[in-house]
Amino acid sequence: MGFALGQGAALLVAARGQGDASGLWRWMQDGGGWHGQHLAPAHDLSALALHPRLPVVYATAGEGAGRLLAWRIGADGAVPLADTGTGGVEPAHLAVDPAGRVLIVANYESGALTLWRLAPDGAVAGAPQVVQLEGRGPDPDRQAAAHPHQVLFGADGSVAVIDLGADRLRLFGLDAGRLRLVPLSAGCLPPGSGPRHGVMLEDGRMAVAGELGNVLLVGAGDDWQAVPATGLTRPGHARFARNYPGDIAAGPGGLVHLANRSLSTLATFDPGGPGGGPPRLVAEVACDVDWPQHLLVHGGHVLVAGWDSGRVVAHPLRGGVPGAVEPLFACAGACWLALLRG
pLDDT band at 31 (very low <50, low <70, confident <90, very high): confident
Taking 90 as the threshold, does the pLDDT of residue 275 lie above it?
no
Q: Residue 51: what pLDDT?
A: 98
What confidence score (pLDDT) does residue 238 get? 87
Yes or no: say if 197 and 149 are a contact pair by the CB < 8 Å rule. yes
Residues 6 or more apart whose CB falls under 8 angstroms from that of 257 comprise: 248, 249, 250, 251, 266, 267, 268, 269, 295, 297, 302, 322
User: In this prediction, what percent of the chain has a pLDDT beyond 70?
Assistant: 100
pLDDT in tens, 54-80: 999 999 999 899 999 999 999 999 999
DSSP state of 288: S
Q: CA 74, 76, 79: angle at the middle one, nearest 5?
A: 55
**Above 80 in pLDDT, residue 276?**
no
Q: Which amino acid is at 20?
A: D
Identify whether the C-beta of residue 141 lies closer than 8 Å to the C-beta of residue 148: no
Single-letter amino acid, residue 272: G
Pick from 48, 68, 66: which is nearest to 339 by CA?
Answer: 48
The pLDDT of residue 1? 64
Position 122 pLDDT exceeds 90: yes
Q: How far apart are CA 229 and CA 236, in angstroms?
A: 13
pLDDT of 118 over the 80 cut? yes
Is the Cβ–Cβ distance between 22 and 45 less than 8 Å?
yes
| pLDDT confidence of residue 157 | 86
148-187 pLDDT, tens digit each: 999 999 988 899 999 999 999 999 999 999 999 999 999 9
CB atoms < 10 A from the CB of 38, how many?
A: 16
Decide: 188 and 222 in contact? Cβ < 8 Å: yes
Helix segments in the chain, DSSP class H? none
**CA angle, 189 then 193 then 194, to 5°:** 95
Per-residue pLDDT averaged across 37-53, rounded? 98
Lowest-pLDDT range of 85-99, 262-276, 283-297: 262-276
Do residues 262 and 244 touch, judged by C-beta distance below 8 A? yes
State the amino acid at position 89 in one-letter form: V
As a residue count, the chain comes to: 342
Q: How far is CA 252 from the centre of its chain?
A: 18
How many percent of the chain have pLDDT more than 90? 95
Q: How far apart are CA 227 and CA 216, in angstroms?
A: 5
* Helix and strand numbers, DSSP H then E, in the chain: 0, 29
Whether 272 and 338 have beta carbons less than 8 Å apart is answered as no
Indicate yes or no: pTM above 0.85.
yes
Single out the residue of 121, 69, 116, 72 nearest to residue 97, CA to CA: 116
Mean pLDDT for the stretch of residues 224-234: 97
Distance (Å, rounded) from C-alpha 335 to C-alpha 15? 6
Q: What is the mean pLDDT of the chain?
A: 97
32 pLDDT higher than 80: no
CB 86 within 8 A of CB 66: yes
Within 8 A by CB and 6+ apart from 33, the residues are: none
Give the Cα separation of 60 and 107 in Å (integer): 9
CA distances (Å), 66 to each of 4, 20, 79, 303, in order?
35, 20, 21, 27
Task: Tell me what pLDDT residue 75 has.
Answer: 94
**Residues 123-152: tens digit of each pLDDT:** 999 999 999 999 999 999 999 999 999 999
Beta bridge partner(s), residue 69: 59, 83
